[in-house]
Amino acid sequence: MSSFKENDFQKIIEGRHAVHDFDPAVKINRTELTQMITESISAPSALNVQPWRIVIVDSPEAKAKIKPLMPANAHQNETASALVFFFADLKAAENAQDIYDQTVKAGKMPQEVSDHLVTIIKNVYDEMPTSALVATFTLDVALPAMQFMLIARAHGYETGPMTGFDHDKIAAALDLDPTRYVPVLLVAIGKAAQLSAGSVRLPAEKILSFR
Ligand SMILES: Cc1cc2nc3c(=O)[nH]c(=O)nc-3n(C[C@H](O)[C@H](O)[C@H](O)COP(=O)(O)O)c2cc1C
């Protein structure tokens, strides 16, 4: 994690606002996009199953192909350097063995604990109804998506999160199996042509209680 241009956490957090208008001349190279995703997927997930699948749309052809699926956000499609789709992989539990084998190999867990957890993961996720699986994995996938918005600012870029796209058609348009991959969030990234006016939050007193 040595690639941050901005390390002032307060600036990163307080300056983040959804950008709707990007500078179309700015391109972000795929090495840096990959680096930002690597940093973002340090996010936690339930049982460390890491059910995220990420598709970055940065070619003019792919952007044009999906533009009809996001009419309300067409301007971000046209101007952002890249459109980063975060999907939940409903078959992510298939990776559990690999994840826990690597954890043991790295000396971070004893074999018997790993074996126990892999069994639990298979039992829990194999028996879970699809609606519960979508809810569980959506929560997991939202975490790297949020990290990505902040990490983008640490790299000197702005973002705009979006759910305004055709959720039923986007997976197939990106050559993913729609029965397996459920869209969670789209994050546009680039340099802002125009920053938003910002937004307000209800105060903590209104939404917080202590017991
Ligand atoms: C789950 C989610 C979906 C959103 N969908 C859209 C969208 O489709 N189009 C859009 O312009 N903004 C979208 N936004 C941006 C919000 O409108 C924005 O984050 C919110 O108004 C707060 O403003 P701020 O992010 O600038 O602080 C979305 C944000 C979130 C978190």
Cα(20) to centroid(ligand 1), Å: 9
Of 148, 150, 199, 200, best ligand 1 pocket probe by most atoms within 8 Å of the beta carbon: 199
Report how many domains make up the chain: 1
- In the numeric block, which tokens belong to residue 193? 């042509």
CATH value at residue 177? 3.40.109.10
Each residue's pLDDT expressed in tens, for the chain with a length of 211 residues: 467 999 999 999 999 999 999 999 999 999 999 999 999 999 999 999 999 999 999 999 999 999 999 999 999 999 999 999 999 999 999 999 999 999 999 999 999 999 999 999 999 999 999 999 999 999 999 999 999 999 999 999 999 999 999 999 999 999 999 999 999 999 999 999 999 899 999 999 999 999 9
pLDDT of 196: 87
pLDDT of 2: 61
Give Cα separations from 211 to 105, 203, 204, 205, 208 (angstroms).
43, 18, 15, 14, 10
- In the numeric block, which tokens belong to residue 182? 């459920």
d(CA 194, CA 30): 24
Using H for helix, E for strand and C for coil, what is the string for 110-176? Answer: CHHHHHHHHHHHHHHHHHCCHHHHHHHHHHHHHHHHHHHHHHHHHCCCEEEEECCCCCCCHHHHCCC
Residue 208 lies in a domain: no
Closest C-alpha residue for ligand 1 atom 24: 17
Residue 173 lies in a domain: yes
Closest C-alpha residue for ligand 1 atom 27: 17
Coil, strand or helix at 73: helix
Residue 1 lies in a domain: no
Residue 19 lies in a domain: yes
- Start-to-end CA distance of the chain, whole Å, equals 38
Residue 154 lies in a domain: yes
Residue 37 lies in a domain: yes
pLDDT of 80: 98
pLDDT of 3: 77
Instruction: Give the range of the structural domain holding residue 54, as residue numbers without chain letter.
Output: 9-195
pLDDT of 111: 98
State if residue 83 touches ligand 1 by the CB under 6 angstroms criterion: no
> φ, ψ for residue 3 (rounded to 5)?
-100, 15
Give residue 48's region: left, alpha or beta (phi > 0; psi -120 to 50): left
Residue 204 lies in a domain: no
Residue 3 lies in a domain: no
Q: Are 92 and 86 in contact (CB under 8 A)?
A: no
State if residue 163 touches ligand 1 by the CB under 6 angstroms criterion: yes
